[in-house]
Each structure stands twice: as C-alpha cells, then as structure tokens.
C-alpha cells in the first residue's frame, strides 16, 4: 500500500513539474515576443525616418548645371 502511495506521489510531482515547465516556457515565449516588439518599433521608425531623409536629400540637392 505504501509503495502505491509513493509511486502516486512521484508521478504527481513529475506531472506538476512538467506542467510548471510548460507554463514557464509559455511565459518566456510571451516575454521574448514583447521584447522583440519593443525593440522592433523604434528600429522600424528609425528606418522609415532614414528612408524619408535619404529621399529628401536626393530631391533637395542643388541641381548641377551642365557646363
């Protein structure tokens, strides 16, 4: 009887550990996604600004007269 109780306790502990591991992995995935979003937003904004600046520089450059 004691053997059955021990095996049941061990399997319960293993199951809970696996469940906790899954929850931790899910939380890490969500956190990584949030970090990626937080980093990607300024990078995207900077790239758009740079593209717009390059376009402005290209079109506002003084035209060279043909000599």
Q: What is the pLDDT of residues 28-43, one digit of tens each?
A: 999 999 999 888 888 8
Measured CA to CA, the distance from residue 53 to residue 39 in angstroms comes to 21
Could you tell me if residue 35 is inside a domain? yes
The structure's pTM equals 0.53
If you write DSSP's letter for every residue of 27-55 in order, what string do you get? Answer: HHHHHHHHHHHHHHHHHHHHHHHHHHHHH
Q: What is the pLDDT of residues 40-67, one digit of tens each?
A: 888 888 888 888 888 777 776 666 655 5
Could you tell me if residue 7 is inside a domain? no
Query: Domain range for residue 47?
Result: 31-56
Residues 6+ apart with CB under 8 A from 16: none
Total structural domains within the chain: 1
Measured CA to CA, the distance from residue 19 to residue 27 in angstroms comes to 12
Could you tell me if residue 9 is inside a domain? no
Note the residue count of the chain.
Answer: 67
């Amino acid at each position: 009887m004691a053997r059955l109780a021990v095996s049941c306790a061990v399997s319960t502990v293993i199951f809970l550990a696996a469940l906790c591991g899954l929850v931790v992995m899910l939380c890490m995935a969500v956190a990584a996604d949030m970090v990626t979003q937080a980093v990607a937003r300024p990078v995207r904004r900077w790239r758009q600004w740079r593209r717009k600046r390059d376009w402005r520089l290209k079109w506002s450059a003084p035209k060279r007269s043909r000599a």
